[in-house]
């Protein structure tokens, strides 16, 4: 039996938005550096999403909409205290190897997943965010541009520079 007083928007929110909870949390951990802070960011993301749910059009890109909200929350916070390299590590978070770009093997000889995350940690916030959205979360350039509120060319440029910097950092580590 359904509750006649239950807001029908809540069912849509639960179905469309809550399905992305784990993806948001995983990305938030890597953006803010700790599980506790990431949980706070995701909670704030969902609070803002619910508050503005009237502006969401059911059936559209809810995942992108939520990530955009989350990046706004992270951007507003800006107080990072823990490095990515100090976060509990799961190599599956690196996705299918596109972190370094299509022409680079996933783990160059002698390079561990932890080394890659440490290199990512050394990137600027802007480069790290684009790299994470495209290479790990699988967003398209257009979706990433929308989430970050920048032109698509900026996403492409930042991604290219981020990958070059990671390659440079990893090469320095190997020869170093």
Task: Write the DSSP string, 72-137.
Answer: HHHHHH----S-GGGS---GGGGTTSTTS-TTS-SS-TT--HHHHHHHHHTS-HHHHHHHIIIIIS
C-alpha to C-alpha distance for 68 and 80, rounded to whole angstroms: 19
For 81, phi then psi, to 5°, come to -120, -20
Q: In terms of Cα–Cα distance, which of 82, 170, 172, 97 is closest to 131?
A: 97
Decide: pTM greater than 0.85: no
Mean pLDDT of 28-47: 89
The 10 Å Cβ neighbour count of residue 50 is: 14
Find how far residue 135's CA is from the centre of its chain: 9
The 10 Å Cβ neighbour count of residue 146 is: 18
C-alpha to C-alpha distance for 172 and 88, rounded to whole angstroms: 24
pLDDT band at 3 (very low <50, low <70, confident <90, very high): low
pLDDT band at 151 (very low <50, low <70, confident <90, very high): very high
**Which domains are seen in the chain, by residue range?**
1-82 (1.10.1740.10), 93-176 (1.10.10.10)
pLDDT band at 46 (very low <50, low <70, confident <90, very high): very high
């Amino acid at each position: 039996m359904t509750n006649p007083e239950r807001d029908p928007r809540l069912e849509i929110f639960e179905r469309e938005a809550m399905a992305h909870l784990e993806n948001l949390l995983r990305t938030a951990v890597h953006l803010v550096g700790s599980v506790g802070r990431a949980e706070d960011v995701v909670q704030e993301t969902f609070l803002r999403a619910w508050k503005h749910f009237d502006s969401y059009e059911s059936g559209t890109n809810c995942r992108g909409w939520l990530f955009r909200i989350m990046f706004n929350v992270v951007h507003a916070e800006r107080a990072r205290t823990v490095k990515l390299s100090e976060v509990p590590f799961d190599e599956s978070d690196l996705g299918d190897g596109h972190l370094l770009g299509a022409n680079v093997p996933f783990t160059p000889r002698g390079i561990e997943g932890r080394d890659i995350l440490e290199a990512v940690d050394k990137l600027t916030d802007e480069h790290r965010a684009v790299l994470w959205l495209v290479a790990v979360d699988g967003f398209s350039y257009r979706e990433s541009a929308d989430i970050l509120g920048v032109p698509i060319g900026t996403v492409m440029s930042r991604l290219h520079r981020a990958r070059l910097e990671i390659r440079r950092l990893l090469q320095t580590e190997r020869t170093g």
